[in-house]
Chains A and B, each alone.
Chain A
Amino acid sequence: MASLAPTFGRGAMTNSWTDIKNTDLVVIMGGNAAEAHPCGFKWVTEAKAKRGAKLIVVDPRFTRSAAVADFYAPIRQGTDIAFLLGVINYLISNDKIQWEYTKAFTNASYIVKEGFGYADGLFTGYDEAKRDYDRSTWEHEFDENGYVKTDPTLAHPRTVWQLLKKHVATYTPEMVERICGTPKAKFLKVAEMIGETSKPDKVMTSMYALGWTQHSKGSQNIRGMAMIQLLLGNMGMRGGGMNALRGHSNIQGLTDLGLMSNLIPGYLNMPVEAEVDFAKYMGTRGFKPLQPGQMSFWQNYKKFFVSFQKSMWGDAATKDNDWAYDYLPKLDVPGYDILRAFDMMAQGKMNGYFCQGFNPLQSFPNRAKSLAALSKLKFLVVMDPLETETARFWENHGEINNVNPKDIQTEVFSLPATCFAEDEGSLTNSSRLLQWHWPGGDAPGQAKSDVWIMSQLWLRLKALYEKEGGAFPDPILKLRWPYKDTNEATPEEIAREINGSALETLYDPADASKVLLEKGKQLPGFAVLRDDGSTTCGNWIYSGCFTEAGNMMARRDNSERDDWGNHPGWAFSWPANRRILYNRASADVSGKAWDPKRKLIEWDGAKWAGYDIPDIAPASKPDVVMPFIMNPEGVSRLWVRGMMRDGPFPVHYEPFESPIPNVLNAKIRGNPVSRIFPGDLAALGTSDKFPYAATTYRLTEHFHFWTKHVRVNAMLQPEAFVEISEQLGAEKGIAKGDWVRVSSARGFIKAKAVVTKRIKPMICDGKTVHVVGIPIHYGFIGAARPGFGTNTLTPFVGDANIETPEFKAFLVNVERIDSGPAIA
């Protein structure tokens, strides 16, 4: 999501699952939808069966998605950027550009500041010691009014267009083959099929997931495709879009609610130390439009922020105390992501850990480091519906969890929680859809809802502060707690609070005599939010989910107009029940649909109207207000200024562990600005000892580490395995069903061998590269056979922008062995 927001303005799947049926071409790259999203994949099947749509799969393995694809092309993991920039090079060279769209709706014509440059794999401003850029040259040229200078002819040598053309010229089909191992003919076939959708009446959808995010340059992988979709004019279109498929049913909800150390709900930022007061914090958040007449919707930031503060601290958040700005923690580092947290823990700098609904011992890279880190904690609290390996990390399970309980002093508290089927609430799926659900059964034993547990924690903390005082008790003591039963808020109360309500009667700003909303009423949506403390709203993007009309998330009207798959009466989609983001871009500059068969919204001379909620103020003149309203430019960004740490354009870098050196810039290892802690740098392996390119993934039969508890799922895929090619099997004397030992610089696992035609060796830079595929689902608890954690092998380094670990590309060795794990 750290790539979609800098490109388009919002970090979310742009279209909906059901909209995929409207496409002409599906590209699955950086994901395996049939495997990991089988239910959503039905819409691909629909598009194929009903529209004759084509499906392309690009993946190191011939996957379940590839099994039903029209065209499959192999690619070495970790080289997606070379492939995607190769596609852009093809599109430009072969004039497969939706020109009118590109010129009007992207920043192609924007002029970049003098001094910005790119050479030898690096942009200007690189500081090797800091592994960071000084990004001051990554900016546009502005005129005297503060608007970006443009050259609509695109001829100026410093337009984004000219820079892009130059930047991608390296990535010829030959270079793509050399880096990616994709045979040139196959690459060209994919590029040609993609290029066809530059026609205004053809669209392509991109479906991707963790195959793109779990890399040290994950955000830039996604940028590569986002740029392609812009050049083809596929954004904002029915059947188009960048469709980020989420790995958990509610992980979209997690980011929307800001459950990250550097976020506040609704993609607001947690203040940093340097932002000592509210004025300073707001000082960099003016979001003045960079072109005349643009909406620049983040100009409303203060309304969202103040309303959030009111939802947190109610009457204690006043104008005089800057809406309780001081109550918010201030970050001393960019963020306490999981890698940093576990590194601190390993160093003894973090003593207690709350683990709510996840299983880090199985999920985080370099399992040995996680074990050592957890062993240093004073206490660990695990809230989970299932028994997790994390909660039992101190147990010895032979080779697969080789610890000595005597040496571990960590006190572990296991708090059994309800699961999704035992409580009420909403889940937000990939397509931003908030769907209410009801309990299907009672919770077993002593299990309590997460809300009850969190409520009790706060009540007890509050009692302690009241009794003992403290350095700064106010944020805890003055928390707004408007729930009927003090002991436990109901899901409905929380949902109403997130939606927000009027704290005072709201009058129309244009006509002070007109009442918009009476005091105490639920807000109809974020449009009525105020920055004067008269509204409260827990998460502005969710506003509209629980209005005076009731719980919009509980709606179950699945009718659709003209069979086009939007279902506006089914649940609630943020923002404002809009189903396709940037839908104003489905029409040309004058406001007419690019494709009359794919009408979404059109300008009727006075307003925007059509099939979806317009993603623009309804009265916005079509030739003035541009479609990407979240960006101060009004247009989307092919070149993202200083908004991403690793560059305004994507660049091909090898994974930190790679079977071949970076053929473009041999000196650069990995992403030059990815953060890597000293100990973890030392724990990286090289191809002389670990010659094979490994990747990890899920299987349809399982969901992470949950379903190994379920007997049926356990039976369907009972035992840990790794996949290798027939060629590697022959070379190493490994047959189907043999035991193998797979090792990396960080440890080893033992698993069964699946020797398959679906993995084939690739030739990269003249060298044969063997791929080793490793599913993730096994552990030492559950109904499935006990197995090693795949994360024993993976490196402790993450994406430069968001720190998602590089699970998808690393190095291993593989040996045949005579027997499986020794389990105590």
Chain B
Amino acid sequence: MATSSVPSTLEIVRKSATKGGITGALQPSANEVAKLIDVSKCIGCKACQSACLEWNDKVEPVGINHGVYDNPIDLTENSFTVMRFTEWDNPMTGDLEWLIRKDGCMHCADPGCLAACPSPGAIVQYANGIVDFDSDNCIGCGYCVKGCPFNVPRISKVEVKATKCTLCVDRVGVGQGPACAKACPTQAITFGTKEAMKKQADTRIADLKSRGYDQAGLYDPPGVGGTHVMYVLHHADQPQIYANLPKDPHISRVVQAWKGIGKIGGLGLIGLAAVAGFVHHAVMGANRVTAEDEKKGAKVQEDQV
């Protein structure tokens, strides 16, 4: 097991929608942890998906075959991680490459979900970098989904709460690595301090370069302050080929505006809007989400990616 020993204290350093809780970036420290996903070692066995469901005690319904190996076809309120299979013809070599990326929460140093969250304490970040949802405080509004540059959180239909990978904070808190890393048969998923994982990535990148992958590299995008889930990619210059992994993710301007300068004025506007809304509701009745609204929502999401 490549999981190196990591500090197991869980000190909360940031809380959503809490005064003083969201200012400043996460302070880089030796306590930061990371999960390193080495795409070049992954055989797509889905042991991580299985372990994730088992550890989190979730049940994913038996679906259908969609004409691909991916199943479920997307992240769900129960499946916090999925393997995404991409068949890519490498234009340089003319050879097919089967790129298999384990998708899930990246645990950004500067998390867009936390920035977007309007509910106090529903999203927290620990000193070790893990970003976690506290369902007791979650109002299921879905802002975190919009705020995430990776389109990760999902809203459960029954409980109306946001869910996502916790980086097995309950395991990490007692000195264990995440369930997916434990289950991975090829050590494509490893866990340790961020520093150790970066060093490990270096040796992997050197190996890949020796095999002709000149652009092999580490995915630790600076636009979100770096992440606590990192990838070793054979083609780090083109992350998009790995099932649309964003090339330069950052928190959407809408969220930045809403949480930044706009917030003060915004709060006043909200007050006005609440009054106006009440009047509108009383007169016109409840709003319905139209297909047009859905499209616009999807567009916003795409723009962010």
Give a binary string over B268-291; 1 marks a CB under 8 Å from any A CB, 0 the rest.
Answer: 000000000000000000000000
B69 — which chain A residues lie within 8 A by C-beta? 717, 754
Whole-angstrom distance between the alpha carbons of A147 and B142 in the complex?
84
- Chain A, range 333-388, C-beta contacts under 8 Å to B: none
Within 8 Å by CB of B68, from A45, A715, A736, lies: A736
Q: Which residues of A contact B54 (CB under 8 A)?
A: 712
For residue A66, CB closer than 8 A to chain B, the reply is: yes
Identify B89's interface contact among A52, A72, A757, CB under 8 A: A757
Segment of B17-25, B38-46, B144-152 in the binding face: B38-46
Contact present for B71 and A718 (CB under 8 Å)? yes
User: Do residues B87 and A738 form an inter-chain contact, with CB atoms below 8 A?
Assistant: no
- Does the CB pair A38–B185 fall under 8 Å? yes
Number of interface residues of B (CB under 8 A): 41
Cβ contact within 8 Å between B204 and A49: yes
Cβ A34 vs Cβ B45 within 8 A? yes
**Is there contact, CB below 8 Å, between B66 and A715?**
no
Q: Per-residue 0/1 for A52-68: is the Cβ within 8 Å of any B Cβ (1 yes, 0 no)? A: 10000000001011111
Q: Please state if B67 and A65 are interface contacts (CB–CB under 8 Å).
A: no
Distance to closest chain A CB from B50 (angstroms):
5
Q: A598 an interface residue at 8 Å Cβ cutoff?
A: no
> B186 and A752: CB pair below 8 A?
no
Instruction: Decide: B64 and A752 in contact? CB cutoff 8 A.
Output: yes
Are A45 and B186 also in contact (CB < 8 A) when A52-B207, A716-B49 are? yes
Q: Provide the residues of chain B in CB contact with A784, threshold 8 Å.
A: 62
Within residues 65 to 83 of chain A, which ones have a CB less than 8 A from any CB in chain B?
A: 65-68, 70, 72
Instruction: Name the residue on B nearest A719 (C-beta).
Output: B65
Task: Report chain B residues within 8 Å CB of A52.
Answer: 207, 210
B92 close to A (CB within 8 Å): no
Please indicate the chain B residues that have their CB under 8 angstroms from the CB of A67 in the complex. Answer: 42-44, 97-98, 100
List which B50-73 residues lie within 8 A (CB) of chain A.
50, 53-54, 59-69, 71-72
Best-surrounded residue of B50, B60, B185 (most CB of chain A within 10 A): B185
Contact B211 A718 (CB under 8 A): no
Interface residues of A in 711-769 (CB under 8 A from B): 711-721, 735-738, 752-758, 760
A68–B49 Cα gap in the complex (Å)?
20
B68 touches A34 (CB 8 A): no
Contact status B87-A68, CB under 8 Å: no
A711 touches which of B62, B72, B100, B204 (Cβ 8 Å): B62
The complex places the Cα of A784 from the Cα of B64 at a distance, in Å, of: 9
Q: Which residues of A contact B41 (CB under 8 A)?
A: 45, 49, 68
B68 A64 Cβ-Cβ under 8 A: no
Complex Cα distance A757/B65, Å? Answer: 17
Q: Are A737 and B186 in contact (CB under 8 A)?
A: no
Determine the distance from Cα of A67 to Cα of B99 in the docked complex, in whole angstroms: 7
Instruction: State A35–B45 Cα separation when bound (angstroms).
Output: 7
Contact between B62 and A757, CB atoms less than 8 A apart: no
> Counting CB contacts under 8 A, is B292 at the interface?
no
Tell me whether A42 and B95 are in contact in the complex, defined as CB-CB below 8 angstroms, given that A700-B46, A756-B87, A758-B87 are known contacts: no
Answer whether residue B47 sits at the interface, using C-beta atoms and an 8 A cutoff.
Answer: yes
- Tell whether, in the assembled complex, residue B50 and residue A713 are in contact, meaning their CB atoms are under 8 Å apart: yes
Contacts of B43 in A (CB 8 A): 34-35, 38, 41, 64-65, 67-68, 700
Contacts of B62 in A (CB 8 A): 711, 714-715, 718, 783-785
B67 in contact with A737 (CB, 8 Å) = yes
CA distance A10 to B232 in the complex (A): 43
From B45, B59, B65, B204, A752 is in contact (CB under 8 Å) with B65
Q: Collect the chain A residues with CB atoms within 8 Å of residue B158's CB.
A: none
Residue of A nearest to B100 (CB): A67
Q: Does B96 belong to the interface (CB within 8 Å)?
A: yes
- B42 to A717, Cβ gap below 8 A? no
What residue of chain A has the Cβ atom nearest to residue B61's Cβ? A715
Check if B65 sits within 8 Å of A754, measured CB to CB.
yes
Q: Which of A394-440 contact B (CB under 8 A)?
A: none
User: Would you list which residues of chain A between 764 and 798 have a CB under 8 Å from chain B?
Assistant: 783-785
Given contacts A41-B185, A41-B186, contact A737 B66 (CB under 8 A): yes
A682 on interface, CB distance cutoff 8 Å? no
Partner of B95, one of A48, A72, A700: A72
Bound CA span A109–B98, Å: 46
**A783 to B59, alpha carbons, bound, how many Å?**
13
Verify B63–A718 contact, CB threshold 8 A. yes
CA distance in complex: A43, B183 (Å):
15
Q: Are A752 and B67 in contact (CB under 8 A)?
A: yes
Give the distance in Å from the alpha carbon of A756 to the alpha carbon of B61 in the complex. Answer: 25
B4 interfacial by beta-carbon distance below 8 Å: no
Evaluate whether A39 and B185 lie within 8 angstroms (CB atoms) in the complex, with A67-B98, A72-B95, A700-B45 already known. Answer: yes
Q: Which residues of A contact B203 (CB under 8 A)?
A: 49
Are B67 and A716 in contact, with the CB atoms below 8 A?
Answer: no
Cβ of A701 under 8 Å from chain B: yes
**Identity of the chain A residue whose Cβ is nearest the Cβ of B83 in the assembled complex:** A716
- In angstroms, how far is the closest chain A Cβ from the Cβ of B110? 32
Residues of B within 8 A of A42 (CB): 185-187
* Contacting residues, chain B, for A66 (C-beta < 8 A): 98
Query: What string of 1s and 0s marks CB contacts (under 8 Å) between A503-527 and chain B?
Result: 0000000000000000000000000
Give bound CA distance, A712 to B71, whole Å: 11
The CA of A48 and the CA of B67, in the complex, are separated in Å by 32
Q: Output the nearest chain A residue to B66 by Cβ-Cβ distance.
A: A737
Chain A hits for B97, CB < 8 A = 67
Nearest-CB residue, chain B, relative to A787:
B65
* Chain B minimum-CB-distance residue to A713: B50
Q: Which residues of A contact B47 (CB under 8 A)?
A: 38
Contact status B207-A62, CB under 8 Å: no
Determine if B44 and A700 form an interchain contact, defined as CB atoms under 8 angstroms apart. yes
In the complex, which residue of chain A has the Cβ closest to the Cβ of B50?
Answer: A712
Chain B residues lying within 8 Å of A713, measured Cβ to Cβ, are 50
Q: Which B-chain residue is minimally distant from A720 (CB atoms)?
A: B65
Instruction: Determine how close the nearest CB of chain B comes to the CB of A444; give it in whole angstroms.
Output: 20
**Which chain B residue has the least Cβ–Cβ distance from A752?**
B65
B-side contacts of A717, CB under 8 Å: 65, 69, 71
Contact of A758 among B53, B64, B98, B187 (CB under 8 A): B98
- The residues of A that contact B65 with a CB separation of less than 8 Å are 717-721, 737, 752, 754
Q: How far is the CB of A190 from chain B (nearest CB, A)?
A: 14
Contact B67 A711 (CB under 8 A): no
Q: Is the CB of A68 within 8 A of B42?
A: yes
Complex interface: chain B residues within 8 A of A756 (CB)? 87
Q: In the complex, what residues of B have CB within 8 A of residue A758's CB?
A: 87, 96, 98
B179 CB to nearest chain A CB (Å): 13
Contacting A at CB under 8 A, from B181-212, are 185-188, 203-204, 207, 210-211
From A45, A65, A716, A737, contact of B71 by CB (8 A): A716
User: By the criterion CB–CB under 8 Å, are A735 and B61 in contact?
Assistant: no
- Closest Cβ neighbor of B186 among chain A residues: A45
What 0/1 readout, one digit per residue, does chain A (638-657) give for beta carbons within 8 Å of chain B?
00000000000000000000
Residues of A within 8 A of B44 (CB): 64, 67, 700
CB distance from A354 to the nearest CB of B (A): 33
User: Smallest distance from the beta carbon of A662 to chain B beta carbons, Å?
Assistant: 30
A220-276 residues with Cβ-Cβ distance < 8 A to B are: none
B61 touches A757 (CB 8 A): no
Instruction: Choose among A62, A70, A701, A785 the residue with the greatest number of B CB atoms under 10 Å from its CB.
Output: A701
Report the bound CA distance from A48 to B204 in whole Å: 10
Knowing A41-B43, A66-B98, A68-B42, say if A715 contacts B60 (CB, 8 Å): yes
Can you list 18 pairs linking A and B with CB atoms under 8 Å apart? A34-B186, A38-B43, A38-B47, A41-B186, A42-B185, A45-B188, A49-B204, A62-B96, A64-B98, A67-B43, A715-B61, A715-B71, A715-B72, A717-B69, A720-B65, A737-B67, A754-B69, A756-B87
Closest 9 pairs between A and B when the two form their complex, measured CB to CB: A736-B67, A737-B67, A719-B65, A34-B43, A67-B98, A752-B65, A757-B87, A45-B186, A700-B45
What 13 new A-B contacts, CB under 8 Å, besides A35-B43, A35-B45, A72-B95? A42-B186, A42-B187, A52-B210, A64-B98, A67-B97, A711-B59, A713-B50, A716-B49, A717-B65, A718-B62, A719-B63, A752-B65, A784-B62
| Chain B residues close to A by CB (< 8 Å) | 40-47, 49-50, 53-54, 59-69, 71-72, 87, 89, 95-98, 100, 185-188, 203-204, 207, 210-211
